[in-house]
Chain A
Amino acid sequence: MKVMDNLYYTKDHEWLRIEGEFGFIGIADYAQDQLGSIVFVELPEEDDEIEAGEAFGAIESVKAATDIFAPVGGTVVECNFDLEDEPELVNDDCYENWIIKIKIEDESEKDDLMNTEEYKEYLETLDEEE
């Protein structure tokens, strides 16, 4: 399973990349692999205010719909509308193809997330459960 450096991760397998006051949010390789062929991405509205842990959108495979949760809170400043027409981009490269860009409200919320090393360890515990 591919894990990228310099990102923060949630237990639900979302990732967060911080650039200044902004954050880019996407889903990790583990999630896209579990989902299989992605056929639909539901995006929020720009200017929506979202809280950490809130479901701001959804990602759907052929079989089922899964919520996407915000790693940190903030205001949606941009959505990746390419995913409306080509949701499979998330399967192709889930780290390149972010889902939303937000203006982060409180950066200290990132302290509740896992860094790359911690996320790798977390994935190993999931493998053991299987």
Chain B
Amino acid sequence: MDVRKTNIYHEHQKLGAKLMAYSGWEMPIEYKGIKDEHKAVREKAGLFDVSHMGEVKVQGKEAEDFVQYLVTNNAKSLKDEKIFYAMMCYENGGIVDDLLVYKYNDNDFLLVINAANVEKDFDWMKSIKEKGNFDISLENISGEISEVALQGPKAEEILQKIADKDLKKIKFFEFFPEIKINGIKCIVSRSGYTGEDGFEIYTENENIVSIWNKILEVGQDYGIQPIGLGARDTLRFEANLPLYGNELSKEISPVEAGYNFAVKLDGDDFSGRDALVKQKEEGLKRKIVGLELLDRGIPRHEYPVLNEEGDEIGFVTTGYKSISLGKSIALAMVDIDYAKLDTEIYIQIRKKQAKAKVIKRNFLKKNYK
């Protein structure tokens, strides 16, 4: 498979980024170093190239009905020019992907999906359209749209300098369908994947480089840094935001993953709803918990979780030595018997078993506006 490059690729090279293939794209993993970049986003501001993300337009008179059936969140209660987070589920409750849903109006939505899943997701959307015979058009515009994310406590001040609308007018998870950034027409939402305040900016491919460079230029006085995918993962993890392939997969349901705020079982029907209702009624057999290591070591994705007797009772979905907190923490899928707060369990780290205890998943307070 050919590895694709975003339009900002040459800027990453100039900035000295370490580049690596990720989800079929050659992406910056780090520039100055993950720790530095992580701290810049928590304390100042950081700019991410996320042009690899996919975008699908849903238009037509049954667009709202279609989105309602496609995703776990309640599309019918979403207001115009607002966003919600949701998942698409198979009939058995396993997750196809997670996504952001942008609502322009009842007849017009934009869905933002993960780079690795664009083809699979688009095929799934087409099958849902056929199944329900929805009167809509679906257009995969991933190849035409580039995206950057500006995140951190200084994000608003920086972006305001080159925006033609008052950014204070949009709260977290609201968006401007049309706004000029540095004179270029964009979609801008107040949203992100870091636990900090910030914005996601979408525009046509040919315009993205000038926006990228302008934000870095304007942000210089505020200590802005370009941020790679390495820190993107450490930041989202501390904020308890899931990554498809780690916390979410076709073998894991949104209820087990614990992102219940995005799953409205009492609203209208959606694909997977019956399975999720049944799962909830019968009681969960396993779920994702937070863990803090009591022994030395760093938990990593897919390390086994054991009970005191040494039986395998789960696996780590994501783990790090948290840069903001300085201690080793993890998200892990464990049997329900071991999911209570303060339960002591073990993580198999190479040849050793490191003791850990179950803690709350809100590792870090979010700083949304």
Contact = CB atoms under 8 A, between A and B. Distances in A.
Nearest to A40: B298
A67 B350 CA distance: 9
Nearest to B326: A39
Contacts of B230: 62-63
Contact of A39 (B29, B30, B300, B321): B321
Nearest to A88: B35
A25 to B, nearest CB: 18
B contacts with A: majority SS:
mixed
B30 A36 contact: yes
A58 B298 CA distance: 11
B33 A39 contact: no
Contacts of A62: 34-35, 230, 234, 320-321, 323
A37 B34 contact: yes
Contacts of B254: none
A39 B293 CA distance: 15
B297 A42 contact: yes
A36 B298 CA distance: 16
A42 B298 CA distance: 10
Given A60-B298, A64-B300, A65-B298, A42 B350 contact: yes
Contacts of B29: 63
B350 to A, nearest CB: 6
Contacts of B34: 36-37, 61-63
A84 interface: yes
A61 B323 CA distance: 11
B300 A65 contact: yes
B296 interface: yes
Contacts of B320: 62
Contacts of A61: 34
B115 to A, nearest CB: 19
Contacts, number: 39
Contacts of B350: 42, 55, 58, 65, 67
A58 B349 CA distance: 10
Interface residues of A, number: 15
Contact of B35 (A37, A60, A64, A65): A37
A39 B34 CA distance: 11
Interface in B103-141: none
Interface string B275-315: 00000000000000000000011101000000000000000
A67 B351 CA distance: 12
Nearest to B296: A84
Contacts of B33: 36-37
A63 B297 CA distance: 14
Interface string A40-65: 10100000000000010010111111
A36 B38 CA distance: 14
Contacts of A37: 33-35
A60 B230 CA distance: 14
A41 B352 CA distance: 14
B234 A40 contact: no
Contacts of B35: 37, 62
Interface of A: 36-37, 39-40, 42, 55, 58, 60-65, 67, 84
Interface of B: 18, 29-30, 33-35, 230, 234, 296-298, 300, 320-321, 323, 349-350, 352
23 contacts: A36-B18, A36-B30, A36-B34, A37-B33, A39-B298, A40-B298, A42-B296, A42-B297, A42-B352, A55-B350, A60-B298, A60-B321, A61-B34, A62-B34, A62-B35, A62-B234, A62-B321, A63-B230, A64-B300, A65-B298, A65-B300, A67-B350, A84-B296
Give me the 5 closest cross-chain CB pairs, A-B, nearest first.
A62-B34, A39-B321, A37-B35, A40-B298, A60-B298
